[in-house]
């Protein structure tokens, strides 16, 4: 795909506003002028995961401590051995350590996930028949379509900080959540319904729009590609839930 010189070089701050009310024009701009346009979405995404990791760390630490105590209680260790085990693992369950690990892993995995999604879209688009497709344009579409997910992290973090409630279930997943983390960790229906969330649906719609722009496909072809991505995302969430339930 050649650069479209008819689309003016945009300001990233202007794009941040226009992604709300002019998503097609925004996608056209980042595809036509892809250089470094992914930086701002990546910064916002990293801020979102870091804030979420910091805010949720005290709650995660409490849950981790209870889980370790329950595990040790069933291990057959003596009281002194249990005490030593708790003291030795305390640093790895501290809010500071958990916030640091969550921030680092989130910051690392965010661009990796974007690259994987971009690779999927790029491959499927070529298979369907896209011409002169550049990966940079596809990657920028993924980056800008992910802004709603960064906003969701910030909104959830605000809810946790204000309400002191953790976790905050997303979308229709809240309808089937029991509030018991042990039970909810293995609830596959909760994992599926969590995708029926306004931020994730916004993310999905932006992907459909952006794929149509970068591939020049009609809406149906773009929707099919995005649905493959959605199916894989839901499948991975369900698989992780089954694994968590099995480990629990």
* DSSP H or E segment with residue 69: helix 39-73
| Degrees to nearest 5, angle at CA 236 with 45 and 234 | 80
In a domain, 2, yes or no: no
Name all contacts of 242-248 with Cβ < 8 Å and 24+ positions apart.
242/186, 242/188, 244/185, 244/186, 245/185, 245/186, 245/187, 246/186, 248/182, 248/185, 248/186
pLDDT at 163: 84
In a domain, 1, yes or no: no
Mean pLDDT of the chain: 87
| C-alpha to C-alpha distance for 248 and 245, rounded to whole angstroms | 5
pLDDT per position as a tens digit, 204-231: 999 999 999 999 999 999 999 999 999 9
Task: Return left, alpha or beta for 169; rule: phi > 0 is left, psi -120 to 50 is alpha, else beta.
Answer: beta
pLDDT per position as a tens digit, 9-53: 668 888 998 999 999 999 999 999 888 899 999 999 999 999 999
pLDDT per position as a tens digit, 141-180: 999 999 999 999 999 999 998 888 877 788 888 788 877 7
- Tally of domains within the chain: 1
Q: How confident is the model at residue 79 (pLDDT cuts 50, 70, 90)?
A: confident
In a domain, 92, yes or no: yes
Q: Under 8 Å CB-to-CB from 76, ≥6 apart: which residues?
A: none
pLDDT at 8: 62
Cβ(56)–Cβ(95) under 8 Å? no
Rounded to whole angstroms, what are the CA distances from 62 to 66, 93, 120, 181?
6, 8, 38, 12
In a domain, 120, yes or no: yes
In a domain, 133, yes or no: yes
Q: Tokens representing 80?
A: 């002194």
Tell me the residue range of the domain where 86 lies: 12-247
Q: How confident is the model at residue 1 (pLDDT cuts 50, 70, 90)?
A: very low
In a domain, 3, yes or no: no
pLDDT at 174: 79
φ/ψ of 114, rounded to 5, equals: -65, -40
Sole residue written with tokens 């105590």: 69
Alpha-helical regions (H) of 74-132: 79-89, 95-128
pLDDT at 190: 87
In a domain, 4, yes or no: no
In a domain, 6, yes or no: no
């Amino acid at each position: 795909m050649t650069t479209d010189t008819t689309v003016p070089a945009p300001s990233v701050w202007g794009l941040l506003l226009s992604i709300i009310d002019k998503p097609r024009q925004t996608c056209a701009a980042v595809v036509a002028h892809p250089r470094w346009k992914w930086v701002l979405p990546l910064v916002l995404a990293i801020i979102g995961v870091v804030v979420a990791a910091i805010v949720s760390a005290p709650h995660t630490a409490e849950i981790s401590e209870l889980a370790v105590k329950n595990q040790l209680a069933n291990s057959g260790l003596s009281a002194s051995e249990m005490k030593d085990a708790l003291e030795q693992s305390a640093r790895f369950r501290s809010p500071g350590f958990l916030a640091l690990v969550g921030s680092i892993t989130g910051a690392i995995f965010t661009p990796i996930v974007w690259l994987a999604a971009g690779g999927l879209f790029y491959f499927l688009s070529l298979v369907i028949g896209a011409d002169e497709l550049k990966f940079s344009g596809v990657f920028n579409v993924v980056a800008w379509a992910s802004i709603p997910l960064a906003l969701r992290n910030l909104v959830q973090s605000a809810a946790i900080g204000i309400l002191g409630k953790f976790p905050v279930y997303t979308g229709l997943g809240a309808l089937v959540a029991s509030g018991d983390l042990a039970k909810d960790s293995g609830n596959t229906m909760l994992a599926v319904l969590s995708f029926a969330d306004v931020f994730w649906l916004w993310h999905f719609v932006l992907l459909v729009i952006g794929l149509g722009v970068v591939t020049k496909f009609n809406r149906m072809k773009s929707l099919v590609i995005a649905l493959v991505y959605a199916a894989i995302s839901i499948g991975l969430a369900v698989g992780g839930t089954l694994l968590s339930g099995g480990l629990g």
